[in-house]
Amino acid sequence: MVKETIRVYARVKPLGRRQQAGSYSVDDEEDLLSSLEITVPRDLADGFVNNKRETYKFKFQKIFDQEAKQDVIFDSIAKPVAECVLAGYNGTIFAYGQTGSGKTFTITGGAERYSDRGIIPRTLSYIFDQLQKDSSKVYTTHVSYLEIYNECGYDLLDPRHEASRLEDLPKVTIMEDSDQNIHLKNLSLQQATNEEEALNLLFLGDTNRMIAETPMNQASSRSHCIFTVHVSSKEPGSATVRRSKLHLVDLAGSERVAKTGVGGHLLTEAKYINLSLHYLEQVIIALAEKNRSHIPYRNSMMTSVLRDSLGGNCMTAMIATLSIDKRNIDESISTCRFAQRVALIKNEAVLNEEIDPRLMIVQLKKEIQDLKDELELVTGKQRTSELSQEELLQLDELIETFLKDNDPDSTLDVGADMRKIKYCFIHMKQLMNHPTTSDKKLLSQNISEEEDTNKESGEELEKLKDLLQQRDNEINILVNMLKKEKKKAQDALFQLNASSACSTVLEQSLPINLEDRQSPSSCSSLKGAKDFSSSVHRLPLLSRQTGGKMSLGCQEAFEVFKRDHADSITIEDNKQLLKQRFAEIKCLGEKLNEVRSKINCLKGEITQRHIQRAALAVSSPSEELNMFDPVEEKLRMQIEEEKKSYKTMFNRFKGLKVEIEHLQLLMEKVKMKMQKDFEVWWSEEAKNLQEKPEMVTSPNTVTVYPQFIKSLQHLSTNSFSEITRVSPNEDPAGKNNSITFSNPTLKTRTPQSSSTSIPLTGDSQADADILAFMKARQRILQRKGLENK
C-alpha cells in the first residue's frame, strides 16, 4: 500500500499578444515545494476603501511557467503516474482551472503541432512502449471516454458515430451495487491492442466531443471529460490478475456564474457546472477534515466516478491551470486556493490484485482430471461422477443380503469406491429413518460390525479414500465458486436491469472480468466498434451530416470560406510538414531495405566462406582451416555495424510513423473544425438573410424557392420564414442570366461600385445558394473593409 497526498502542480498559460500580465513570481526550489506569489494591486478605481489582501502565496509540488513545454509536463507529472498504473495501481490526473486556461491543451494537446500533443497521447505512447518491452506478462488494454454534461454522462466512443448532438450519444448512468461499488451502465470499453488503435479511439472521442458542441452549448468548457485507460496484466499460467486504471480528466471551466453573465439556457448550464464543481469542492473539504466519516461523493456524477481518485485507492495528481493576465487574476487565485485544499488529501493506493475465479476453476479442473487419471491407474477402472443404474441395483442387493445375514462375521464389501461407500451409508440411513422393528435391530447390530470391518481395511484403501476425499472437497469448492459467480452475475444483471450488451463496468471490483465481457453478444459490439474505429471515423463531418450531399453553391462557399479561414495556414503548414515526413519516411524505408539486403549479402558471403573452407578442409586438410577465420570475423563485425544502423533507422522509422499518423489526425481535426465553423457561419448568414430580405436589387423580386430554404436547413436547425430573391427564370428578357446585388450593409445603394455580377447556373437550388453565399461574402468584405479603416 502506498500512502501519499495528492500531488498538486501549477501551469501558467503563456500570455496572449494583447494580454497584460498580472503581477506574479515563481520561486522554484530544487527538492522543495515551489511557491507562486500573486500580487493584486489595491484597486483605487473602485472608489471605496479596499481592504483586499495584496499578496497571495501558494505552494505547489512544482510550478510550470509560461515557457514549459508539453514533453516536460508529461515527464514530470504524467510519467510517474503511468508507471504506477503499469505496476498495478490506479492513477488519476486532472486539470482544474477557468475556461481558456489550458486544461484541454494540457490533457489532450493542441490541434496544430505534433509537439503540442498533450498528456493523453503521450501517456498512451509510453504505456504501449512499456508493455511491448515487458514480455514476462500478458497485458490487455481497454479505453473508455466519458463526457459529463449537466449531470448526464455520455459515451464519446459511440460506435454508431452518427451523433451530431450530445443527446444522440448513448447516455451513461451510474449504478451502485450492494458493496457500494460504482458501475457505469452504457459506457463502452474498447480494446486497444496498440498505440495506433488507442489514438484512433481518442481521436474518435474528441471528434464526437467537438461535433456535439454547438455555439449554444459550449459543451467543452461546461462539461467534464474522463478518458480512462484500463490495464490488466497476468503472468502466464497464473490465476492472479492485476487490474488498474488511469483516469485523465479534463474538468469543466471553474469560472463562477456571476462572471459569465449569461441568462436563460446558458445560466442553467453554468449553474450546473458550478454545482458539480461545488460538490467536488465539498468532497475535497470533507476529505481534508480529520475525523469526517461521511464524504458526500454521491452528490454529483463526477464525484461518484472519481471517488477512488479522491481520498481512495489511487495515485492522483492535479494540474491547476492558470491564466495570469490581469483580467483573470481573481480566477487564478481561486484556482490556487482550491489546489491548496486538494494538496491536503491523502490517498491510499493498493495493488489491485485479484484471483481470477475463471482461471482458478480451470486449474482445479485440471487437478481433478489428474487425480481421476491417477485413481484409474490404481484401480484399473474408469470413474464417472454418478453410479450407473446397474451398479445401484447391485449395491441394493448387497446391502439387503448384508443386513439379513445373521452371521456376525459377514461384511459389506463394496470395494474402494467412495461413491459406493457413500451410497451404502445413505441407503442405511434411509432404512434407519423408516425402519421395520426387526430391520432396526439388525441395522444397529450390523453397523457396529461394519465399523469393525472398516478398521481392518488395508492401507491402500485409506490412501484412496484420502484421495477421494480430497477430490470431493475440491468439487465442493468448485461448486461453491460457481454458485457464487452465478449469483454475482445474476445480481449484477438484476441491478443493471438487463443492461445492453455493450454496457460495461468501470470499477475494478466488478465481478465479471474483461474476458467475460466477450460473451457472444458483447463481443460483436466490441468488434463492430473496432472495425468502425479503423475505418468510418474518418468520414468528413459535413458530408456525414448532410448525408453526403452539399449543393453546388454551398460547396463553392465552403471553398472560399476554407481559403479565408485562420486554420487554413495550419493545414497548409501541416501539409508541408506531412509531405516532408512522407519523403523522409520513404527515404528511410529505402535505406532500411538497402541495409537489409546488405546484411543478407554479408550473410551470404559468410555462408560462401564456410562452404569454401569446408571444401578445402576435405581436399587438403590443414590445421589452419580449423582455426579462427579473420575474414569471417570481419564480415561478422560488418554485419553488427549494419544491424546497429538498421536499428537506429528503424526506431526513427517507427517514430516517424507515429508522427505522421498523429499529424494526419490533427489535420482531420482541424478540417472538421473548419467545416463546423463553416456550418455555423452559413446558418448565421442564412438567418441574417431572413431578417433583412430587402438586400437584393433587381428588376424582379420574387418569393424564395422552397428548395433554398431546404438547402440551408440541412445545414442549420434554424427555420426560415420568408426570403426574397431574384429568380433568373423571371427575367423578362430571358437572357440576362445573372444577378446583381448591392452591399447589404450600405443603406445607400451604389450598385455599380459595390455590386458584383455572377453567372447563374440555371439550377434553382444552386442559384439560391450562390446568391446567399455572395451576399454573405459581400458582408464579410464590407466588415473587413471597416476593420481596415
Smaller CB distance to ligand ADP: residue 220 or 508? 220
Q: What is the DSSP letter of 308?
A: T
| Smallest distance from ligand ADP to CB 220, Å | 7
Whole-number Å distance between alpha carbons of 541 and 528: 21
* Region of 218-226, 279-287, 383-391, 498-506 interacting with Mg ion (CB under 5 A): 218-226
Beta strands in 62-124 (DSSP E): 62-64, 91-96
Cite the beta strand spans of 186-281 per DSSP E.
190-191, 223-234, 240-250
Instruction: Tell whether residue 103 is among the known ligand binding residues.
Output: yes
Q: Minimum CB separation from ligand ADP for residue 69, in Å?
A: 8
* Residue closest to ligand ADP, measured at CB: 102
Work out how close the CB of 567 gets to ligand ADP at its nearest, in angstroms, rounded to a whole number. 11
The piece of 103-111, 438-446, 542-550, 627-635 that touches Mg ion (CB under 5 A) is: 103-111
101 vs 125 by CB, closer to ligand ADP: 101
- Rounded distance between C-alpha atoms, residue 223 and residue 666, angstroms: 22
Q: State the minimum distance, in angstroms, from the CB of residue 104 to ligand ADP.
A: 3
Rounded Cα distance, 245 and 352, in Å:
10
Q: Is 98 flagged in the annotation as binding?
A: yes
Give the nearest distance from C-beta 95 to ligand ADP in angstroms: 7
The three grid cell numbers given for residue 248, joined into one nine-digit string: 485523465
Categorise residue 498: left if φ over 0, alpha if ψ from -120 to 50, beta otherwise: left
Q: Is 221 in the site for ligand ADP (CB under 6 A)?
A: yes
Distances (CA, A) of 363 to 240, 356, 497, 560: 12, 11, 33, 67
H or E element: which one contains 56?
strand 55-60
Residues 763, 752 contacting (CB under 8 angstroms): no
Residue 436 annotated in ligand binding: no
Identified binder of ligand ADP from the candidate list 58, 74, 94, 105, rule CB under 6 A: 105
Partner whose binding site includes residue 100, from ligand ADP, Mg ion, none (CB under 5 to 8 Å by kind): ligand ADP
110 binds, among ligand ADP, Mg ion, none (CB under 5 to 8 A by kind): ligand ADP
| Position 473, amino acid | N
Question: Among ligand ADP, Mg ion, none, what binds residue 14 when CB lies within 5 to 8 Å by partner kind?
Answer: ligand ADP
Instruction: Locate 40 and state its grid cell.
Output: 493584486
Task: CB nearer to ligand ADP: give 13 or 725.
Answer: 13
CB of 110 to ligand ADP, least distance (A): 4
Closest approach, Cβ 220 to Mg ion, in A, equals: 5
102 is a contact residue toward ligand ADP (CB under 6 A): yes
Q: Is 300 in the site for ligand ADP (CB under 6 A)?
A: no
User: Is 104 one of the annotated binding-site residues?
Assistant: yes
For residues 357 and 481, the answer to whether their CB atoms sit within 8 Å is: yes
Instruction: Report the candidate in 774, 750, 346, 765 with the shortest Cα–Cα distance to residue 557.
Output: 774
Q: How far is the CB of 687 from Mg ion (least distance, A)?
A: 27
Q: Binding residue per annotation — 260?
A: no
| Per-position DSSP letters for 131-199, written without gaps between them | HHH--SSEEEEEEEEEEEETTEEEETT-TT---SSGGGSPEEEEEE-TT--EEEET---EE--SHHHHH
Minimal distance, residue 745 CB to ligand ADP, in Å: 30
Q: How many CA atoms lie within 13 A of 185 on its CB side?
A: 16
Radius of gyration of the chain (CA): 38
Nearer to ligand ADP, 254 or 525 (CB): 254
Q: Is 669 in the site for ligand ADP (CB under 6 A)?
A: no
Query: Does 102 count as an annotated binding residue?
Result: yes
When asked if residue 513 is in the footprint of Mg ion (CB under 5 A), the reply is: no
Torsion of CA 694, 695, 699, 704, to 10 degrees: -70
Site string (60-99) toward ligand ADP, x via CB under 6 A:
-------------------------------------x-x
Number of residues that bind ligand ADP (CB under 6 A): 14
> How would DSSP label each residue in 24-53?
EEEE--TTS-EEEEEE----GGG-S-----
Question: Which long-range contacts does 642-651 make (Cβ < 8 Å, 24+ apart)?
Answer: 642/595, 642/598, 642/599, 642/602, 643/599, 645/595, 646/592, 646/595, 646/596, 646/599, 649/588, 649/591, 649/592, 649/595, 650/592
Q: Which stretch binds Mg ion (CB under 5 A): 203-211, 219-227, 322-330, 568-576?
A: 219-227
Residues 5-24, mask of contacts with ligand ADP (x by CB under 6 A): --------xx----------
Letters for 162-201 (x = contact with ligand ADP by CB under 6 A, - = none) are ----------------------------------------
User: Is 101 marked as a binding-site residue?
Assistant: yes
105 vs 402 by CB, closer to ligand ADP? 105
Residue 13 CB, nearest distance to ligand ADP (Å)?
Answer: 4
**The three three-digit cell numbers of residue 46, written as one number:** 473602485
Contact between residue 154 and residue 147 where contact means Cβ atoms under 8 Å apart: yes
Task: Give first-to-last CA distance, the chain, whole Å.
Answer: 67
Selected from 321, 545, 551, 765, the binder of ligand ADP by CB under 6 A is: 321
Site stretch for Mg ion (CB under 5 A), options 215-223, 447-455, 728-736, 771-779: 215-223
Work out which of 104, 228, 352, 711 binds Mg ion, going by CB under 5 A. 104
Binding residues: 97-104
Contact set with Mg ion (CB under 5 A): 103-104, 220
Q: Which residues bind ligand ADP (CB under 6 A)?
A: 13-14, 97, 99-105, 110, 221, 253, 321
Q: Which residues are annotated as a binding site for ATP?
A: 97-104
